[in-house]
């Protein structure tokens, strides 16, 4: 007979929609265009869009369920990145490395067309295209950011350890990620080196 020290939590049902709606989520947060100061290489394009918007434009949102705490628990949610460009650069999330940096994450594309942009602290870089039905398993030690390279919202379902945490400063301290995802004419998207990137420092990451 198995014994448990604590009452066992009950399973929960989530209903996940291609729009990013998530029935059963416990938290929602939104990022607006003014939250993205300093993120894009073309600050002129970003500031021009800030100044001409009637209100502080929503650029991405997250719905998530954090049901339990601890190293064995999961955070499950949806991320919705709205389409946009700043200069040639496609709309991105701020991106992060997990504070407990060995924690992996699943991203499964529900709708739209996007790229998961991935860097290691040591200088490897990858850009993986996602469309509905495709997923990427992001291992630990990879800085990651979602990029919308389409004309519709880019919506992903994500799942990661509840004790992972997010280190956002590692990207801003590095001058941005190693590459930029940019418009490439009729060919769609491509990556180019980010001229402001000065390399990552591990900082307080474990
Ligand atoms: Fe993450």
Q: What is the pLDDT along the chain (206 residues), one digit of tens a residue?
A: 566 667 799 999 999 999 999 998 889 999 999 999 999 999 999 999 999 988 899 999 999 999 998 889 999 999 999 999 999 999 999 999 999 999 999 999 999 999 999 999 999 999 999 999 999 999 999 999 999 999 999 999 999 999 999 999 999 999 999 999 999 987 799 999 999 999 999 754 44
CA of 116 to the centre of ligand 1 (A): 11
Q: Does residue 204 form part of some domain?
A: no
Q: For residue 170, how many C-alpha atoms fall within 13 Å in the half-sphere facing its CB?
A: 27
* 8 A C-beta contact, residue 80 and residue 74: no
The CATH number that applies at residue 101 is 2.60.120.10
203 located within any domain: no
The reply to whether 80 falls in a domain is yes
- C-alpha 54 to ligand 1 mean position (Å): 31
Q: 95 alpha carbon to ligand 1 midpoint, in Å?
A: 8
145 CA from centroid of ligand 1 (Å): 8
Ligand 1 centroid distance, CA of 93 (Å): 11
Any domain includes 128: yes
Q: Tell me which residue range forms the domain holding 148.
A: 15-193
163 CA from centroid of ligand 1 (Å): 11
- pLDDT at residue 203, as a whole number: 56
In a domain, 134, yes or no: yes
Distance 176 CA to ligand 1 centre (A): 16
Output the CA 105–ligand 1 centroid distance in Å: 6
Distance 97 CA to ligand 1 centre (A): 7
| Å from CA of 156 to ligand 1 middle | 12
Domain assignment present for residue 198? The answer is no
Task: Tell me, in angstroms, the distance from the centre of ligand 1 to residue 65's CA.
Answer: 14
Number of domains in the chain: 1
Cα 2 to ligand 1 centroid, rounded to whole Å: 34
Q: Is 23 within a domain? A: yes
Give, in order, the Cα–Cα distances in Å from 16 to each of 8, 13, 23, 164: 25, 10, 7, 22
């Amino acid at each position: 007979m198995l014994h448990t020290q604590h009452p066992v939590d009950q399973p929960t049902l989530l209903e996940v929609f291609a729009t990013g709606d998530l029935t059963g989520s416990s938290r929602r947060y939104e990022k607006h265009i003014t939250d993205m100061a300093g993120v894009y290489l073309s600050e002129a394009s970003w500031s021009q869009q800030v100044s001409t918007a009637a209100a502080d434009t929503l650029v991405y949102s997250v719905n998530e369920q954090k049901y339990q705490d601890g190293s064995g628990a999961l955070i499950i949610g949806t991320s919705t990145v709205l389409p946009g460009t700043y200069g040639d650069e496609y709309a991105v999330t701020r991106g992060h490395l997990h504070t407990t940096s060995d924690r992996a994450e699943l991203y499964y594309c529900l709708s739209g067309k996007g790229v998961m942009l991935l860097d290691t602290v040591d200088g490897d870089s990858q850009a993986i295209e996602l469309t509905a039905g495709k997923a990427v398993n992001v291992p630990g030690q990879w800085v990651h950011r979602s990029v919308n390279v389409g004309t519709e919202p880019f919506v992903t379902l994500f799942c990661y350890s509840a004790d992972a945490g997010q280190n956002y400063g590692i990207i801003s301290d590095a001058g941005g990620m190693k590459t930029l995802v940019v418009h490439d004419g009729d060919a769609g998207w491509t990556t180019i080196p980010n001229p402001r990137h000065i390399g990552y420092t591990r900082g307080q990451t474990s």
